[in-house]
Amino acid sequence: MALNRWLIAILLLLLAGSALGAVEIREFEDPVTKQRYQDLTASMRCPLCENQAINDSDAPISGDMRERVYQLLQDGKSDTEIINHMVQRFGEYILYNPRLENRTYLLWGIPVVLVLLGILLVVWMVRARRNASATSLSTEERARLDELINRERSS
């Protein structure tokens, strides 16, 4: 593990001297393609860096990947084709937007389930509380109950 870290340090040092930059001047036929280019490069993770999208990183591999995305767009490939092209080479790891599949059902599902549970909880609680308000306690009763509860707690 220590060795691996050392290695990464070396890899990162390699980057420093590299001549590739992050600002490329690209021509697009239409604004839609430009937007697609921006969205695609924003949603792919640089495989070398700690945690950066390829449009955000100076790493040479990010430059190569941006160039490839641009080329594929020029070739008229669809977004899915471009994404598949990249995943084939660099793995699912580079997708910031993980695909919906067996292993990611819970990732997408849990928030949805939580929302449903939340709705149920609110309905259930308000119903319970609404009935409680019918038999609400007077101030004296409440004070006595408070006292009882406190006595139970502190004993």
Q: Residues 131 to 150: which contact another protein by CB under 8 A? A: 131-134, 136-139, 142-143, 145-146, 149-150
- Candidate residues 81, 84, 104, 105; the one interacting with another protein per rule CB under 8 A: 104
- Token pair belonging to 39: 């969205």
Q: In the beta sheet, which residues pair with residue 95?
A: 44
Residues 77 and 85: their CA atoms lie apart, in Å, by: 10
Binding to another protein by residue 84, rule CB under 8 A? no
Residues 49 and 63: their CA atoms lie apart, in Å, by: 12
Nearer to another protein, 5 or 76 (CB): 5
Binding mask 39-78 for another protein (x = CB under 8 A): ---xx-xxxxxxxxx-xx--xxx--x---x----------
Nearer to another protein, 78 or 113 (CB): 113
Least distance (Å) between residue 76 CB and another protein: 20
Angle at 93 between CA 59 and CA 35, to 5 degrees: 65
Residues 96 and 55: their CA atoms lie apart, in Å, by: 12
